[in-house]
């Protein structure tokens, strides 16, 4: 079954959950946690992300954030790829660190913002890592207790909603006896957390949510992308299986499918390839991004040029 495309519109509230590949640890020591926080600060500033809460657990990450004009996928790609490269260098490992598909839940801000902040900051307590959230170093909880914005998290909006630091502290204490709450993962239309009509209202407010309108035909996008990369589209469609042509074919397919959201089956058909084979090639190419900086930079440049095109509304996966 094809994956649903990422849904994006400026100003939406997302609960992002990125888990370690095969449930393996994503942080082995304090230096790892600090390296991730440094990158979290860097990329949220670069992409104008408002981070309301975070918690770095030993094998997964929780982020509660609002986007501006930059798609969430671009922020997450930069953050996760940069940290993975650093982790692999530091620990002599290779390959994926995080699961390829992080979870990004669009949440009803009015109903869930404050409760999700509490739920995220209480993760270490529920997991038995600490007895109280203020003793856990790798979350945004202490910033709320101090009432001051840090390089990573801004507690201002939620503190104003709750009525200040003391009320926030009591609010968290009131929820500290609860366990895992499945309601935060019971999604409307598999992507929205809110009342039954929240998904409908969100789609009505953002009619181009996910970029489903205004996207050019695949043939137009393919022609533009091959022009950007100075490639011959006829060679990509031909029988040539040389290393250079196969690599170019993989690059074009990855941008079209993984960055711009065109269906894999349609891209395979447009290039005259078998869908299953192209899927394997895409997976292998995506894995290379974590260690091949030149390839990652090429894909980044090509994607950026395509997204700046007036004819293209992005659907980024």
- The band of 63, judged by pLDDT with boundaries at 50, 70 and 90, is very high
Per the CB < 8 A criterion, the answer to whether 71 and 78 are in contact is no
**What pLDDT digit, counting tens, does each position of 80-102 carry?**
999 999 999 999 998 889 987 78
- This prediction has a pTM of 0.65
For the domain made up of 13-210, give the CATH fold.
Alpha-Beta Plaits (3.30.70)
DSSP type of residue 193 = E
User: What are the residue ranges spanned by the domains of the chain?
Assistant: 13-210, 216-307
- The band of 310, judged by pLDDT with boundaries at 50, 70 and 90, is very low
Residue 253 neighbours by CB under 8 Å, 6+ apart: 267, 268, 271, 278, 281, 282, 285
In 3-state terms the chain splits into helix, strand, coil percentages (rounded to 5) of 55, 10, 35
Q: Does residue 192 carry a pLDDT above 60? A: yes
Q: How many percent of the chain have pLDDT more than 70?
A: 85
- The band of 196, judged by pLDDT with boundaries at 50, 70 and 90, is low
Tell me which architecture the domain covering 216-307 has in CATH.
Answer: Orthogonal Bundle (1.10)
Per the CB < 8 A criterion, the answer to whether 152 and 139 are in contact is no
Please work out, in degrees rounded to the nearest 5, the angle formed at the alpha carbon of residue 41 by the alpha carbons of 61 and 29.
Answer: 50
Q: Does residue 124 carry a pLDDT above 50? A: yes
Q: How many percent of the chain have pLDDT more than 90?
A: 44
Q: Does residue 314 carry a pLDDT above 70? A: no
SS3 55: strand
Per the CB < 8 A criterion, the answer to whether 184 and 178 are in contact is no
């Amino acid at each position: 079954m094809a994956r649903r495309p990422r849904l994006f519109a400026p100003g939406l509230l997302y609960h992002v959950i990125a888990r370690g590949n095969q449930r393996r640890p994503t942080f082995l020591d304090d230096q790892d946690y600090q390296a991730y926080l440094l990158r979290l600060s860097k990329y949220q500033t670069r992409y104008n992300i408002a981070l309301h809460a975070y918690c770095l657990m030993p094998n997964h990450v929780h982020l509660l954030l609002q986007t501006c004009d930059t798609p969430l996928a671009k922020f997450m790609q930069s953050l996760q790829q940069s940290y993975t490269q650093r982790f692999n260098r530091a620990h002599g490992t290779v390959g994926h660190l995080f699961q390829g598909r992080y979870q990004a839940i669009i949440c009803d801000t009015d109903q869930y913002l404050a409760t999700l902040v509490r739920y995220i900051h209480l993760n270490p307590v529920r997991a038995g890592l600490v007895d109280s959230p203020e003793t856990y170093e790798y979350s945004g909880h202490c910033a709320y207790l101090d009432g001051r914005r840090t390089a990573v998290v801004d507690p201002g909006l939620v503190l104003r909603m709750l009525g200040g630091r003391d009320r926030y502290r009591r609010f968290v204490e009131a929820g500290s006896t609860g366990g895992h709450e499945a309601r935060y993962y019971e999604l409307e239309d598999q992507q929205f957390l809110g009342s039954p009509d929240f998904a409908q209202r969100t789609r009505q407010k953002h009619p181009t949510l996910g970029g489903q309108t205004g996207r050019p035909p695949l043939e137009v996008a393919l022609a533009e992308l091959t022009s950007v990369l100075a490639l011959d589209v006829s060679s990509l469609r031909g029988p040539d299986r040389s290393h250079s042509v196969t690599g170019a074919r993989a690059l074009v397919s990855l941008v079209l499918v993984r960055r711009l959201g065109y269906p894999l089956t349609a891209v395979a058909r447009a290039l005259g390839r078998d869908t299953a084979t192209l899927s394997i090639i895409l997976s292998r190419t995506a894995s290379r991004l974590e260690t091949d900086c030149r390839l990652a930079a090429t894909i980044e440049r090509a994607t950026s040029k395509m997204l700046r095109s007036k004819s293209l509304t992005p659907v980024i996966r």
